[in-house]
Amino acid sequence: MDLKEGSDNYVHGYSNREALRLNDQADTLDNIIHNDTIFPKESFVLEAGCGVGAQTKIIAAKNPDSNFISVDISEDSLNEAGKLIKSLCIKNVEFKQADLYNLPFKDAIFDSAIVCLVLEHLHDPVKALNELKRVLKTGGTLIAIEGDHGSALFYPDSKYAHSAIECQIQLQKQSGGNSNIGRELYPLFKSIGLSDVVISPRMIYADASRPWLVNGFIKNTFTTMIEGVRNKAIQEGITDRLTFEKGIKDLYRTTEPDGVFCYTFFKGTGTKI
């Protein structure tokens, strides 16, 4: 092997590794959802329901020339979010405690408002969306991103796995929320009178050729979330332990080399007129 051939091999090798790495990065959940969460320069953006800052850190870093006010009802979450953003040296976010149904802002001051994985928890999403619309300038854009548990599709299929997912859906419903709200973004946006409403579905498709999604999404995001309702679902009599455990086992079964798992997030945008 001469130097030239060696260099070529290195270059190709590097190039392949680099491509894989970039692909790996680009194909994470965050990028599937936020690849196009780009605001015009110097936008003044409200992030509603920021929680511990999981989305804040992505959208603020992707839009360094815009300024964000990120609000949440929970002081504890805001403290966590503040620490996270500080640790990442992100400077364009201000946090504020606020009730989504009654925002402490004047009318028509924001260029954009974004709400990620929050509407599913609300008993009155229309009221919250109207409140977001109120604080948007005319011509301002509203963005909402929500999942939909009814979109979970997998191989091997399993009625037990569907039954375990249904436990989460039922408990969310009992709390006044809606785990299947993603499919409703279009009627929700239209119902508050937004124009130019466009819904863009973002499917997470995971099989063994995409191990970062098998681990990052099926195992560590989705199945972990469903496992989290085990005790409550059993206590409330929505399921029994044996059925639930079989469902969780079958969800993990989809992470084996011949398994497949799909889940769809819906991203809606609309304009205040």
Per CB under 8 A, residues contacting a copy of itself are 148, 150-151, 153-155, 157, 180, 183-184, 186-187, 190-191, 197-201, 203, 205, 207-209, 257-260, 262, 264
Whole-number minimum distance, CB 185 to a copy of itself, in Å?
8
C-alpha–C-alpha distance, residues 132 and 124, integer Å: 13
Rank residues 244 and 266 by Cβ distance to a copy of itself and give the closer one: 266
Q: Coil, strand or helix: which one is 117?
A: coil
Whole-number minimum distance, CB 187 to a copy of itself, in Å?
4
Q: At how many degrees (to 10) do helices 159-174 and 241-253 cross?
A: 120
How many residues are recorded in the chain? Answer: 273
Rank residues 60 and 204 by Cβ distance to a copy of itself and give the closer one: 204
Whole-number minimum distance, CB 96 to a copy of itself, in Å?
33
Q: Coil, strand or helix: which one is 45?
A: strand
Whole-number minimum distance, CB 204 to a copy of itself, in Å?
10
Measured in degrees and rounded to the nearest 5, phi and psi for residue 162 equal -60, -40
Rank residues 56 and 264 by Cβ distance to a copy of itself and give the closer one: 264
Taking only Cα atoms into account, the Rg of the chain, rounded to an integer number of angstroms, comes to 21
Rank residues 57 and 149 by Cβ distance to a copy of itself and give the closer one: 149
Rank residues 6 and 187 by Cβ distance to a copy of itself and give the closer one: 187
Rank residues 53 and 216 by Cβ distance to a copy of itself and give the closer one: 216
Q: Is 235 exposed, middle or buried (0-12, 13-18, 19+ CB in 10 A)?
A: exposed
Whole-number minimum distance, CB 39 to a copy of itself, in Å?
22
Whole-number minimum distance, CB 177 to a copy of itself, in Å?
15
Q: Coil, strand or helix: which one is 237?
A: coil
Rank residues 11 and 208 by Cβ distance to a copy of itself and give the closer one: 208
Whole-number minimum distance, CB 246 to a copy of itself, in Å?
19
Measured in degrees and rounded to the nearest 5, phi and psi for residue 82 equal -60, -45
Residue that the structure tokens 């863009």 belong to: 200
Q: Tell me how far CA of residue 109 lies from CA of 103, 104, 125, 237, in angstroms.
A: 12, 11, 21, 47
Q: How many CB atoms lie within 10 A of CB 138?
A: 8
**In what helix (H) or strand (E) does residue 241 lie, and over which residues does it extend?**
helix 241-253
